A and B are shown apart, each in its own frame.
Chain A
Amino acid sequence: MQNGYNVAYRRDMFWLAGFFTLLMLAPFCMPNNYYLTILILCGLHAMHAVGLCLLVGHAGQISLGHAGFYGLAAYTSAYLSTTLGLAVGLSMVAGVVLTVLISLLVGLPSLKLKGHYLAMATLGFGIILSILFTETVDITGGPSGFVGIPRLSILGQELTTDIAVYRAVAVVLCLMVWLSFNVLHSRIGRALRALHTSEKAAQAMGVDIARFKLFVFVLSAAFSSISGVLYAHYLTFIAPVSFGFMFSVELIVMVVLGGMVSVPGSIVGAFFVTILPEFLRAFENVEVVLFGAILILCMMFLPDGLAGGWNRLWSRFRRAVHE
């Protein structure tokens, strides 16, 4: 951590402070709960995006299985708290721990695979999980969903209002961002960057690739699982459709759209992909077409994502000011 106080790190921390303030102030501009619900879902999706930004953008590993981790944690916590009657806090921790352990087991053999083969392995794993959610009706409630999950509570205090849940989600998200920045500015982050440029070269320099890859994989799975338990206890209802293959793809879209290597970018990507369909709702049937078209156009004209686009705009602005 010796260069933890360098300029880039300070800049990231400034950004985080700004982001946190923005999140805390946002509810005051919200006319009603509907907008708050959207923001909560955005926040939950952003948690995945932050983890996947590290995994895809920095470690260069594709995963199409994170929806599986999301669901596994959600179902575990739902089952423990609802069916077995455990305390919500304890169930949530158990859900996250179990998912982390499973991700370790999956990561060990999978991360030996490369590129599309890794994508396939994680995809296969995600599909197997989603079939389990659908078919083990006695445990999960099957395709029509798991009903009656207790609401989120922290230290025995139930969060009954949406605004309380929103604040909790915002704080957790910011903690994840903080952790991610620290990882990126540590030895691991530097090793990952080396790995991204040339895996073989990094290996030759004595970087323990396998361990770092696994660390980032498990970390991203942990972020997804935290999002999962929060989701389950916020909505108090979960169904297998939310944790399918399409959601894994959507998560990758968020990260790439956001700009892959940029943590703030991937958060913006998550917000963008979550909010866009709500705005397009007025177009009814044409919505899907517009969504596809916007996705293509974004990728065509912003090849380095929303973050890259913003950076270019910002530097042009600065140049204009200087002149």
Chain B
Amino acid sequence: MDSSSLLQYLITGLTLGSTYGLTALGFTIIFNTTGVINFAQGEFVMLGGMMSVFLVRVLGVTVPLAVPLAALGTMLTGALVERLAIRPVRGCPSINLVIITIGVSILIRGLAMLFWGKDTHVLEPFSGDQPVMVLGAAIMPQAFWVLAISVILLTGLKLFFSLTTQGKAMLACSFDPKAASLVGIGVQRMVMLSFMISALIGAVGGIILTPITMTSYDKGIMLGLKGFAACILGGLGNPFGAAAGGLILGVLESLGAGFVSSAYKDALAFIVLLILLFVKPSGLFGQKDAKRV
């Protein structure tokens, strides 16, 4: 196997992996404040993509304007989901909340199908589709956009959590919601905020990836699944672990397709994941949590 092929597999894997990583990031943020895996996370990614396509192709909005609008729209959806479906049942066991998020994902998917139809849609790349050749491997300009925006998002999150009061309050909620509410943090507001942030991240991911992956109303299922896997791989609750988990999963898949078999690439990725879980039960970068009796 020549080195340019290997490089190509790595690049492909990293681009693919950032898809999973961005979805995983959203999972992590909601998990941290609520302890719930939000099955509708993939739907946020889909909404970002579909809204931007709708704005650009049907309403004729320019891309630089459509991106923030779609992100805002999805953020609003995230807030609505929290307000209408999650807040009324606070205090229920987390499995109930998980089922509600499953219901929400079915609902959002169904509505997207009704409004935008069942077709797949595509968005023009932000800066042309002439690939950049590096050592015999092709990199799409859009991949740079994806990489750059992912890094910006991650840095932004890092700053938000470590510098702002809101961010620190959210972090406090994730450690101990009861203690957090005792020191005067509005836990419910933090949960709302976490839904908005993860919807925002999902949407941005969906928008910047649409030129590469295309989008359709049912895109969220697969992304949600892979995003969840990425989250677990990186260690649940650690945003940077989630992003890294996504990249690792993407590279695993692409190497699997390249060197072993394209038919079994997903199976290979999951086998590695299982082995890893058995060896290190709390993911690559996860902390072993000590449960109180």
Which B residues from 90 to 120 make CB contacts under 8 A with A?
92-93, 95-96, 99-100, 102-111, 113-114
Q: Which residues of B contact A123 (CB under 8 A)?
A: 225, 228-229
Which A residues from 83 to 135 make CB contacts under 8 A with B?
109-110, 112-114, 116-117, 119-121, 123-125, 127-128, 131-132, 135
Question: Given the complex of chains A and B, what is the CA–CA distance between A131 and B261 in angstroms?
Answer: 12
Of B88, B99, B113, B221, which is within 8 A of A256 by CB?
B99
Is A7 an interface residue when CB atoms closer than 8 A count as contact? no
Is B264 an interface residue when CB atoms closer than 8 A count as contact? yes
Q: Total interface residues on A, using CB and 8 Å? A: 46
Is A288 an interface residue when CB atoms closer than 8 A count as contact? yes
Is A285 an interface residue when CB atoms closer than 8 A count as contact? yes
Is B134 an interface residue when CB atoms closer than 8 A count as contact? no
- Contact string against B for A residues 277-316, beta-carbon threshold 8 Å, 1 for contact and 0 otherwise: 0000000011111011111100110010000000000000
A131 contacts B266, C-beta separation under 8 Å: yes
Give chain B's interface residue range (CB within 8 Å of chain A): 35 or more
B107 contacts A303, C-beta separation under 8 Å: no
Closest A residue to B289 by beta carbon equals A114
Of A114, A121, A200, which is within 8 A of B274 by CB?
A121
Q: Which residues of B contact A246 (CB under 8 A)?
A: 221
Of A117, A257, A291, which is within 8 A of B282 by CB?
A117
Q: Which residues of B contact A299 (CB under 8 A)?
A: 89, 92, 96, 99-100, 103
Is B179 an interface residue when CB atoms closer than 8 A count as contact? no
Question: Given the complex of chains A and B, what is the CA–CA distance between A135 and B293 in angstroms?
Answer: 46
B109 contacts A135, C-beta separation under 8 Å: no
Question: Given the complex of chains A and B, what is the CA–CA distance between A123 and B108 in angstroms?
Answer: 23
A293 contacts B273, C-beta separation under 8 Å: no
Question: Given the complex of chains A and B, what is the CA–CA distance between A114 and B264 in angstroms?
Answer: 28
Is A201 an interface residue when CB atoms closer than 8 A count as contact? yes
Q: Evaluate whether A288 and B113 lie within 8 angstroms (CB atoms) in the complex, with A117-B236, A128-B271, A296-B85 already known.
A: yes
- Contact string against B for A residues 219-251, beta-carbon threshold 8 Å, 1 for contact and 0 otherwise: 000000000000000000000000001100100
A289 contacts B111, C-beta separation under 8 Å: yes
> A116, A287, A294 — which one has the most chain B CB atoms within 10 A of its CB?
A116
Question: Given the complex of chains A and B, what is the CA–CA distance between A131 and B269 in angstroms?
Answer: 12
Is A198 an interface residue when CB atoms closer than 8 A count as contact? yes
CB distance from B45 to the nearest CB of A (A): 17
A249 contacts B102, C-beta separation under 8 Å: yes
Q: Which residues of B contact A295 (CB under 8 A)?
A: 99-100, 102-103, 106
Q: Evaluate whether A245 and B225 lie within 8 angstroms (CB atoms) in the complex, with A260-B95, A300-B100 already known.
A: yes
Is B267 an interface residue when CB atoms closer than 8 A count as contact? yes
Known: A292-B109, A293-B103, A295-B100. 7 other contacts (CB 8 A): A124-B229, A124-B277, A128-B271, A245-B225, A295-B102, A296-B85, A299-B89
In the assembled complex, 16 residue pairs joining A and B whose CB atoms fall closer than 8 Å, in A order, are: A116-B236, A117-B232, A120-B229, A120-B232, A124-B229, A124-B273, A124-B274, A124-B277, A128-B267, A253-B102, A286-B110, A292-B105, A295-B106, A299-B99, A299-B100, A303-B89
